Amino acid sequence: MLSGQVIYEEEHDRLEDICDRLVEDALAKAIFIVDKDGQLITGTGETEGIDTTSLASLVAGSTAATGGIADMLGEERFPVHFHEGEETNIHVSVIRDSMILVVIFDERSSLGLVRLRVKRAYKEMEDVMDSLDEKRESDDNEGPDLFGDISDDDIDDLVNDTFG
């Protein structure tokens, strides 16, 4: 049986607040929170021109590969990885093995500042994750009514219409 990974409105808003504050405190260009499976949860800052869906997927991929490197070297994990570019840098941290915090920054900020501010945001993010876990547990098997009363024929039509 399929059961979904769920983000509720309240937790989404709290994560959004954390991002909004962090983007200012860290003087960052943009901030994203990504699910470890590669789904974008939220993002803020100068996100225009960034293909956020693909970015989320690639960051999760790169985090998985970094985990593979850690494993080869006998480390349990590398919770933080950092890529330095000519103009843009990206700081990626894995929080409690389930969410990834991505900070994109340029010459307006520095790695030290980003590190410091990100560490402060951890605790807040962990609180949100606790609240999410609680909700998910109490909400088990009570998923949203996503599909209403649509019949199997409707589903066939829908898929045929979309893909011709």
The binding site for other proteins (CB under 8 A) comprises: 1-9, 12-13, 35, 37-39, 41-42, 51, 53-54, 57-58, 60-61, 63-65, 67-68, 71, 143-148, 150, 152, 155-156, 158-164
Residue nearer to other proteins on the CB measure, 20 or 115: 20
Distance separating alpha carbons of residues 157 and 14, to the nearest angstrom = 38
Residue nearer to other proteins on the CB measure, 64 or 111: 64
CB of 102 to other proteins, least distance (A): 16
Distance separating alpha carbons of residues 63 and 139, to the nearest angstrom = 29
DSSP 8-state code for residue 75: -
> Going by DSSP bridges, is the β-strand pair 40-45/30-35 parallel, antiparallel, or unpaired?
antiparallel
CB of 30 to other proteins, least distance (A): 17
Distance separating alpha carbons of residues 73 and 19, to the nearest angstrom = 33
Distance separating alpha carbons of residues 7 and 60, to the nearest angstrom = 18
CB of 63 to other proteins, least distance (A): 8
Cα distances from 56 to residues 33, 36, 51, 101, 129, in angstroms, run 8, 9, 9, 10, 19
Residue nearer to other proteins on the CB measure, 96 or 120: 96
CB of 11 to other proteins, least distance (A): 9
Residue nearer to other proteins on the CB measure, 138 or 162: 162
